[in-house]
Structure 1
Amino acid sequence: MDVANPAPEWITDRIWLEILTLESLEPFKGFAENFHTYLQDYKKIFDSTDPERATLPQEWADGLDDFQKIIFLKCLRPDKVTNAMQDFVSNNLGQKFIEPQTADLHLVFRDSSATTPLIFVLSVGTDPAADLYKFAEEMKFSKRLNTISLGQGQGPRAESLMRAAMEKGQWVFFQNCHLSPSWMPSLERLVEQVDPDHVHKDFRLWLTSMPSPQFPVMILQNGSKMTVEPPRGIKANLLRSYITLSDDFLTSCTGKVDEFKHLLLSLCLFHAVLLERRKFGPLGFNIPYEFTDGDLRICMSQLRMFLMEYTEIAYKVLKYTAGEINYGGRVTDDWDRRCVMNVLDDFYAAKVLDANFCYDDSQIYHQLPPVSEHQAYVGYVRSLPINDTPEIFGLHENANITFAQNETYRTLTDLLDLQPKTATAGENRDVVIEKLVKDVLSRVPRPLPLATVMEKYPVMYEQVSSIHSYMINYESLKMSTSIRK
C-alpha cells in the first residue's frame, strides 16, 4: 500500500515504512489511513513520556489487544517497547514476574541431600559467597563451612578437606571451579565415590563456576543448579545489597549508628549507579568496568571501621579508599576515574546525613529516618520503580533513548532466535545446509575419463612436446581424484 508520509517533520521514513508494513497483518488493515486521519492523536502518543500506556484513537483502542499494541509501539516508539513488555507480563502473569528476584537458598537446600552437589553457575561480576555465608549463619553452620578458592596447587588440600567434611558432616564450598580445569576429573571422582550409606547426612558440597566445557557433566546432571546473574537496575542492585544485611550489622557501628545507616545507603546507591552507568555506553564510561559485590563489601567494612576509629567523619579518607583504591583500582581511563570521583562526591558527603535528603529532583531516591530497621530499608527498596530515571546518574532524559532502543532490538533479536524453524516460518538449519551441499555437488563436474585423455595426449618421451602431454595427464589425474573425494 502506497500512502504518503503525512508528517515528515516528526515521522521518519523508517517509522512510516514500518507502519505501512503493519498493513500486511490482518488486525492492522486500514491502519495507515487511520493514522493519517487521527494524526494529532498519534502525535500526542509520540510525544508522551509513557506512550506504552496511552490510549489509541477510536476503534483501534478496542480493536487491538495488548500484544498487538506492543507491535504498533515498536513502530512509533521503539524505546518504550521493553516498558510495554513489562506491563504485558505484569497484567497477564503477575507483578512478581517483573520484580527483581533473590536466590532462595532455603528452598534449594530443602530439596538437597549429602549426595547432591549444589552448583552456582556464575555470570561476569557476580559472587554468591555473601549469600551462602549468611545462609550458613542462619542454619548455624557458619563454623562448619569450609571454603577454598580453587586454583593452581589447591587440588590436594581441597580433596582432603572434602573427605574430612564427609565424615564430620560439614559443608564444603569450592569457589571458581573453572579456574582449576585440571582438577575437575578428581572432583568428579570424589563426587562419584560419595556413598549415601556412609556419608554424614549433614554434609553438603557447594560449588561455583563460570560456564566451562571442562566442568564435569556428571556433576551438572546430578547436582542442583542455580544461575547467578548480575541484577539490572538501581532497584535490583539495592535489593541485592540489602538482602544480605541484618539489623545486627546496621547497628554494629557503636556511637555512630545513625551516620552509618545514612552513609551505608549512600554507598549502596553509589555502587548501583556505577554498575548501571555502563548501560549508557560511552555516556556512562569510556570503558565498561566489571565492578563486583566484593568492591562494595570492602567499602562497607572500611566505612564501619573509619566511623568507629575517628571522632569526626573522615570523608577524605572514605572517598580515597572507595574512589581511588576499591573501585578506582579497576578504572584504567583517567577521565573515567575523574567521573567516579565526581559521582562519589554526591554520595559521600555531609548532606546525606539529613533524614530528608533526596538524591534526585524527582525525590524517588531518598534517605530514611535513622530509626529504620533492616526490613524498613528492604521495604523501601522494593517500593522503588523498576525502570531507572537518568537523572539519578546525572544524565539527561535523552541519554536513555539510545539505550532503550538498543535494548528493544536486542530483545526482539533474542525472541527471533528462540522461534522454532517450521516449514512456514523458515527451514531448519540442517535442511538449509543439506540443500546448499546438494547444490554445490550438482555443479561439480564428473571425473575426467583418464583413458580418453591419455589416448588423446599420449606421452612420447622422445618428443619435446611430450612435456605438455605429461602435465595434462598429471593434472587430469589430480582433478579426478579431488572430484571423487
Structure 2
Amino acid sequence: MDVANPAPEWITDRIWLEILTLESLEPFKGFAENFHTYLQDYKKIFDSTDPERATLPQEWADGLDDFQKIIFLKCLRPDKVTNAMQDFVSNNLGQKFIEPQTADLHLVFRDSSATTPLIFVLSVGTDPAADLYKFAEEMKFSKRLNTISLGQGQGPRAESLMRAAMEKGQWVFFQNCHLSPSWMPSLERLVEQVDPDHVHKDFRLWLTSMPSPQFPVMILQNGSKMTVEPPRGIKANLLRSYITLSDDFLTSCTGKVDEFKHLLLSLCLFHAVLLERRKFGPLGFNIPYEFTDGDLRICMSQLRMFLMEYTEIAYKVLKYTAGEINYGGRVTDDWDRRCVMNVLDDFYAAKVLDANFCYDDSQIYHQLPPVSEHQAYVGYVRSLPINDTPEIFGLHENANITFAQNETYRTLTDLLDLQPKTATAGENRDVVIEKLVKDVLSRVPRPLPLATVMEKYPVIIFLPTVLELKLADGYGLNLAGFRYSATY
C-alpha cells in the first residue's frame, strides 16, 4: 500500500515504512489511513515521555491487544519498547518477574546433597565468592571451607583437597573451572566416584565457571546450577549492595552511626552510578571498566575505619582512596579518571549528611532518616523505579535515547535467536552454518597446478612471465587459506 508520509517533519522515512509494513498484518488493516486521520493524536504519543502507556485513537485503543500495541510502539518509539515489555510481563505474569532477584543460597543448599555439585555459571564482572563466604559463615562452615582457584598445575592439589573433604565432611570451592580445561576430565571422574553410601553427608562441592564447551556435561546435568549476572540498573545494584548487610554492620561505627549510614548509602549509590554509566557508551566513559563488588567492599571497610579513626570526617582521604586507588586503579584514561572524581564529589560530601538530601531533581534518590534500620533501607531500595533517569548520572535525557534504542534492537535480536529455525526439520544454527560453508567450499576453484604449468611453459626470464607466476602462486595460497579458515 503506497500512502504518502503525512508529516515528514517528525515522521522519518524509517518510521513511515514500518507503519506501512504493519498493513500486511491482519489486525493492522487500514492502520496507515487511520494514522492520517488522527495525526495529531499520534503526534502526542510520539512526544510523550511514556508512550508505552498512552491510549491509541478510536477503534485501535480496543482493537489491538497489549502485544500488538508493542509492535506499533516498535515503529513509532523504539526507545520505549523495553518499558512496554516490562509492563506486558508485569500485567500477564506478575510484578515479581521484572523485579531484580537476589540469589538465595539457603534455598539452593537446602535442595542439595553430598553427591550434587553446586555450580555458579559466571558472566563478565561477577564473582560469587563473597556471597559463598558469607553463607559459609552463617552455616558455621567458614573454617571448613577449602578454596582453590584452578589454573595451571593446581589439579593434583584440588584432587587431594576434594578427597580429604569427602572424608571429613568439609566444603570445597573450585573457582574458575574454565581456566583449567585439561583437568576437567579428572574432575568428572572424581564426581562420578562419589559414593553416596560412604561420602560424609556434610560434604559439598562448589564450582564456578564461565560458559565453556570443556566443562563436563555430566556435572552440569547432575548439579544444581545458578547463573551469576551483574545487576542492571540503580535499583538492582543498590539491592545487591544492601541485601548482604545487617543492622549490626550499620551500627558498627561507634560514635558516628548516623554519618556512617548516610555516607554508606552515598557510597553504594556512587558504585551503582559508575556501573550503569557504562551503558551510555562514550557518553558514560571513554573506556568501559569492569568495576566489581570487591571495589565497593574495600571502600566500605575504609569508610568505617576512617570514620572511627578521625575526629572529623576526612573527605579528602575518602575521596582519594575510593576515587584514585580502589576505583581509579582500574581507570586508564585521564578524562575517565577526572569523570570518576567529579562524580565522587557529589557523593562524598558534607551535604549528604542532611537527612532530607536528594541526589537528583526529581527527588527519587534521597537520604533516609538516621534512625532507619536495615529493613527500612531494603524497603526503600525496592520502592525505586526499575528504569533509571539519566539525571542521576549527570546526563541529559537525550543520552538515554540511543541506549534505549540499542537495548530494544538487542532484545529483539535475542528473541529471534530463540525462535525455532525454519530450515529443514528445524535445523539449528550450527547445522545451517555448516551447510552454508560446505556449499561455499564446493564453489571455490582448485589452485592452479604450478608444477604442470612450469613444465609445459618453461620459465623465461621475462618480467611479465615472472609476475604471472608470482600471482598464480599467491592465488593458490589465498585459496588454501580460505579453505583452512572455512573448515576450522
Determine if the TM-score, normalized by the shorter chain, exceeds 0.5.
yes
User: Structure 1 residues 116, 435: CA separation in 2 closer, same or farther (over 3 Å shift)?
Assistant: closer
Q: Provide the TM-score with structure 1 as the length reference.
A: 0.88
The 2-side partners of 1:467 and 1:353 are apart by: 77
Instruction: Tell whether the 8 Å contact from 1:130 to 1:244 is kept in structure 2 after alignment.
Output: no
Cα deviation 1:303-329 (Å, max 9, x = unaligned): 111111111111111111111111111
For each residue in 1:430-452, what CA deviation from the matched residue of structure 2 results, as whole angstroms up to 9, or x when unmatched?
88679869988998999999999
Instruction: Count how many residue pairs are aligned between Structure 1 and Structure 2.
Output: 479
Aligned mates of 1:390, 1:371 — CA distance in 2? 30
Gaps of 5+ in 2: 460-467
Rate the CA distance shift 1:479–1:449 in 2: closer, same or farther, 3 A.
farther
User: Does the aligned pair in 2 maintain the 1:457–1:473 contact within 8 Å?
Assistant: no
Pick closer, same or farther for the CA change 1:153–1:321 going to 2, 3 Å. Answer: farther
- Distance in 2 between residues matched to 1:450 and 1:369, nearest whole Å: 85
Matched, 1:25 2:25: yes
Q: Which residue of 2 aligns with 1:481?
A: 486
Deviations 1:190-215 (A, max 9, x none): 32222211111011111111122332
Output the CA distance in 1 between the equivalents of 2:479 and 2:323: 73
How many Å separate the matches in 2 of 1:127 and 1:143? 20
> After TM superposition, what 4+ stretches of structure 1 lie above 4 angstroms from structure 2?
423-459, 463-482
Tell me: CA distance 1:228–1:33, structure 2 relative to 1, closer, same or farther (3 Å): same
- Aligned pair in 2 of structure 1 residues 34, 166: CA closer, same or farther (>3 Å)? same
- The C-alpha deviation readout for 1:73-131, integer Å capped at 9, x for no partner, is 00000000000000000000000000001111111111110111101011111111222
The answer for the alignment partner of 2:190 in structure 1 is: 190
Deviation of the 1:161 alpha carbon: 2.5
Shift of 1:357: 0.7
The structure having more radius of gyration, on CA atoms, is: 1
How far is 1:394 from its partner?
0.1
Relative to structure 1, is the Cα distance of residues 147 and 473 closer, same or farther in structure 2, using a 3 angstrom cutoff?
Answer: closer
| Partner SS for 1:400 | helix
Residues 448 and 476 in structure 1, CA contact (< 8 A), matched pair in contact too: no
Change in CA separation of 1:456 and 1:285 when aligned onto 2, cut-off 3 Å: closer
State the 1:252 CA deviation. Answer: 1.3
Per-residue CA shift, 1:347-383, capped at 9, x if unaligned?
A: 1111111111110000000111111111111111000
Report % sequence identity: 96
User: Following the alignment from structure 2 to structure 1, what is the Cα–Cα distance between the partners of residues 271 and 211?
Assistant: 26
* CA displacement at 1:141 relative to structure 2: 2.0
User: How has the CA–CA distance of structure 1 residues 448 and 104 changed in structure 2, closer, same or farther, with 3 Å as cutoff?
Assistant: closer
Moved more, 320-329 or 448-457: 448-457
Judging changes above 3 Å, is the alpha-carbon distance between structure 1 residues 40 and 248 closer, same or farther for their aligned structure 2 residues? Answer: same
After superposing the two structures, state which structure 1 stretch, 133-142 or 399-408, moved more: 133-142
The match for 2:5 is: 5
2:116–2:223 Cα contact (<8 Å) kept? yes
Determine if contact 1:453/1:473 at 8 Å carries over to the other structure. no
Say if 1:172 and 1:38 are closer, same or farther in 2 by CA, change over 3 A. Answer: same
Contact 1:458–1:466 (8 Å) recurs in 2: no
How far apart are 1:24 and its partner, in Å?
0.7
Structure 1 window deviating more from structure 2 (279-288 vs 158-167): it is 158-167
Q: Structure 1 residues 425, 236: closer, same or farther in 2, change over 3 A?
A: farther
Please tell me whether the aligned partners of residues 457 and 472 of structure 1 are also in contact (alpha carbons under 8 angstroms).
no
Q: Tell me if structure 1 keeps the 8 A contact 2:171–2:204.
A: yes
Cα distance per residue 1:240-271 (max 9 Å; x no partner): 11111111111111221111111111111101
| C-alpha contact 2:447 2:475 (8 A) present in aligned 1 | no
TM-superposed CA distance for 1:280, in Å, is: 0.2
Question: SS in structure 2 opposite 1:425?
Answer: helix
- CA deviation after TM superposition for structure 1 residue 476, in Å: 24
- Per mean C-alpha deviation after superposition, the further-off stretch among 268-277 and 188-197 is 188-197
1:341, 1:368 → 2: CA distance?
25
The 5-angstrom pairing of residues 185-334 of structure 1 reads 185-334=185-334
> Is the CA contact 1:271–1:296 (under 8 Å) kept in the aligned structure 2?
yes
Matches of 2:233 and 2:225, distance apart in 1 = 25
Does the C-alpha gap of structure 1 residues 477 and 238 become closer, same or farther in structure 2, counting only changes over 3 Å? closer
* Contact 1:100–1:236 (Cα < 8 Å) also in 2: yes
Residues 36-92 of structure 1 deviation map (CA, whole Å, 9 limit, x = unaligned): 000110000000000000000000000000000000000000000000000000000
Deviates most, 372-381 or 416-425: 416-425
1:156-188 CA-partner distances (Å, limit 9, x unpaired): 433333222222212122222223334333333
Q: 1:307 to 1:157 in 2, by over 3 A?
A: farther
1:412 aligned onto 2:417:
no
Relative to structure 1, is the Cα distance of residues 310 and 157 closer, same or farther in structure 2, using a 3 angstrom cutoff?
Answer: farther
Q: 197-206 or 435-444: which moved more?
A: 435-444
Q: CA RMSD in A?
A: 5.4
**Quick check: 2:448–2:476 contact (8 Å CA) kept in 1?**
no
Distance 1:451 1:16, change over 3 A: closer
Measure the CA separation in 2 of the matches of 1:469 and 1:316: 64
Report the CA distance between 1:237 and its aligned residue. Answer: 0.5
